[in-house]
Chain A
Amino acid sequence: DVKVTQSSRYLVKRTGEKVFLECVQDMDHENMFWYRQDPGLGLRLIYFSYDVKMKEKGDIPEGYSVSREKKERFSLILESASTNQTSMYLCASSRFAGGDTQYFGPGTRLTVL
């Protein structure tokens, strides 16, 4: 089974702090994704990566950056956290592009005070 793990289930940070969310997948997948989930809005894509050191902006990249130094690890960075970034963050991976099944981690619930 594909396993996608995220470094924290719950995180509380203060406004202005730099925040790192880590995601690791164990199936040698090429593609990795970061989403945020908010009530009534479904999942919105922040960034994705289709190869090591490659990244593409999703629908809502403002205020975020990403890093993919190794194939199995994809990090989401909030350079200066703000209260409107309080949300559930979900990481996913897939083997192929073009609509392949994505496998999700359990999520990190981030609260910014």
Chain B
Amino acid sequence: AQSVTQLDSHVSVSEGTPVLLRCNYSSSYSPSLFWYVQHPNKGLQLLLKYTSAATLVKGINGFEAEFKKSETSFHLTKPSAHMSDAAEYFCVVSGLYNQGGKLIFGQGTELSVKP
């Protein structure tokens, strides 16, 4: 069965420092993996998506994630945090095809950015 674990419920960084949000997944086949972001009182927005092409995936707003099959990880990084990055981030793995496109969400990581 597919599952995803976000290793930190809360991460705090200073503006201008790197961001690392950690995600491990479990899947019985090569999954699609996503990172979504949710700003306060807003819906979820897609940051980036991995679909078995390049293992380093670039997303919007300077974020990127690296798919590491040997470590079953899909960590999200950004070289330099900005105040506007403060939000909740969700790591997501695709369900089995016969589950009708179901996505399985991690519990979320709240990112705080200090001035």
Q: List 14 A-B contacts (CB under 8 A).
A: A31-B101, A42-B106, A43-B44, A45-B102, A45-B103, A58-B102, A90-B43, A98-B94, A98-B97, A98-B101, A99-B101, A103-B46, A104-B36, A107-B43
- Which residues of chain A are near B107, meaning CB under 8 Å? 40-42
Q: A4-B43, A90-B44 are in contact. Are A97 and B106 (CB under 8 A)?
A: no
- Is the pair A42, B34 in contact by a Cβ cutoff of 8 Å? no
How many chain-B residues does the 8 Å CB contact rule pick out?
A: 25
**Alpha-carbon distance A106/B61, docked complex (angstroms):** 20
Which B residues are in CB contact (< 8 Å) with A102? 101, 103
Tell me, in angstroms, the Cα distance from A101 to B44 when the chains sit together. Answer: 11
A34 at the interface (CB under 8 A from B): no
From B44, B46, B103, give the contact of A99 (CB < 8 A). Answer: B103
A100 at the interface (CB under 8 A from B): yes
Inter-chain contacts of B36 with A (CB < 8 A): 104
- Bound-complex Cα distance A42 to B32 (A): 18
Q: Which of B3-45 contact A (CB under 8 A)?
A: 9, 31-32, 34, 36, 41-45
If A45-B103, A48-B100, A48-B102 are given as contacts, then 15 extra A-B residue pairs at C-beta distance below 8 Å, sorted by A number, are A4-B43, A31-B100, A41-B107, A42-B105, A42-B106, A43-B90, A45-B102, A48-B101, A58-B102, A94-B101, A98-B94, A98-B101, A99-B103, A100-B32, A105-B43
Contact A96 B42 (CB under 8 A): no
Complex contact A97–B100 (CB within 8 A): yes
Contact A99 B32 (CB under 8 A): yes
**How long is the Cα–Cα vector from A43 to B94 in the complex, in angstroms?**
13
Report the separation of the CA atoms of residues A103 and B102 in the bound assembly, to the nearest whole angstrom.
13
A16 → B minimal CB distance (Å): 28
Rounded to whole Å, the gap between the CB of B107 and the closest CB of chain A is: 5
Question: Which 5 residue pairs of A and B lie closest in terms of their CB atoms, listed nearest first?
Answer: A99-B94, A99-B32, A97-B101, A104-B43, A42-B105
